[in-house]
Amino acid sequence: MSLDDLALTPRLLVALDFDGTLAPLVDEPLTARMLPEATDAVAALVAAPETTVAFVSGRSLADLRHIAEHDDESAIVLAGSHGAQWWHPRGMVQDEAEDAVGADAVATPTLAEETLRDELREAAEAAVAGIDGAWIEPKTFGFGVHSRLVDPARAADAHARVDALIADRAPGWRRRVGHSITEYAFRDEGKDTAVARLRALTHATGVLFAGDDVTDEDALRSLEPGDVGIRVGAGETAATVRVADERELAGVLRALAHRRTSARE
């Protein structure tokens, strides 16, 4: 299906990765912000008829809310930790028990999971301590190893050290590789399951998903006939559309919002 066709679908879901898709990649993760063009495009989609916008990210929910400058009045659905954590506007989820927790539908680790997570984070920090620029990012269900600031000649060593640690002490944890990061988690959710849940929640008749990284390919491969996948930047992809960067994607999203709104007038 083309973007023109998708604009006419009765109920549209627009699910978007955040880092590298709406916001440029940065050295300090919590300083990431959407490009102004992306902010405007997302706002136009939120205002379009029968359209739901969701951010689907590997970030913890708290960090995603921070960088997205997302508040309790927002209509944008959030899927954090690759879909293990959720924020949705009240009333969106029909299950009263889940909706009763308010806007934050947050999964929390057990004490045993927290204990192992924290022990492994400390061990990972020790493992990369001698590699300048390498650092460990805490996540709700695990952690990430960053090498964006590491000398390229040593980056592989940083990841290999933590790979060995996890293989020895937590071989059942899920491993994901992204731009200068390796993530480890004891939860198995992926962006494909997040998109499937969003599709069911919104009763979407068509889905657009856009992302820039290897972890986004799970969602892109899961799309159905009638959906549209967009890959931002280079790399092998299952997407049917490719754009060069965040700015070009913002233009595509803005055009989609305009077509959808114009078609309903």
Can you give the pLDDT at residue 105? 53
| Amino acid symbol at 76 | I
Nearest to 220 by CA among 205, 238, 195, 197: 238
Tens digits of per-residue pLDDT, 243-254?
999 999 999 999
**Is 17 designated active site?**
yes
Catalytic residue among 17, 192, 218, 227: 17
**Rounded-to-10 torsion of CA 215, 223, 65, 116:** -40
Dihedral sign, Cα of residue 11, residue 47, residue 3, residue 76? negative
Backbone angles phi, psi at 256, to 5 degrees: -65, -45
**Which has more pLDDT, 105 or 156?**
156
Q: Is 197 left (phi over 0), alpha (psi -120 to 50) or beta?
A: alpha
Please state, in angstroms and rounded to a whole number, the distance separating the CA atoms of residues 134 and 149: 7
Tens digits of per-residue pLDDT, 229-246?
999 999 999 999 999 999
What pLDDT band is residue 90 in, cutting at 50, 70 and 90? confident
What pLDDT band is residue 103 in, cutting at 50, 70 and 90? very low
Greatest CA separation for the chain: 61
What pLDDT band is residue 104 in, cutting at 50, 70 and 90? very low
Give the position of tokens 């640690």: 165
What pLDDT band is residue 100 in, cutting at 50, 70 and 90? very low
Can you give the pLDDT at residue 264? 74
- For the range 70-78, what are the long-range contacts, defined as Cβ-Cβ under 8 Å and sequence gap of 24 or more? 72/103, 75/46, 76/42, 76/46, 77/52, 77/53, 77/198, 77/201, 78/54
Q: Where are the alpha helices (DSSP H) in the chain?
A: 3-6, 36-47, 61-67, 96-99, 111-127, 152-169, 191-202, 217-222, 246-264
Residues, the chain:
265
Paired tokens of 88? 């949705």
Please state, in angstroms and rounded to a whole number, the distance separating the CA atoms of residues 259 and 152: 44
Please state, in angstroms and rounded to a whole number, the distance separating the CA atoms of residues 18 and 15: 10
What pLDDT band is residue 15 in, cutting at 50, 70 and 90? very high
**Which has more pLDDT, 263 or 241?**
241
Task: Return mean pLDDT, the chain.
Answer: 92
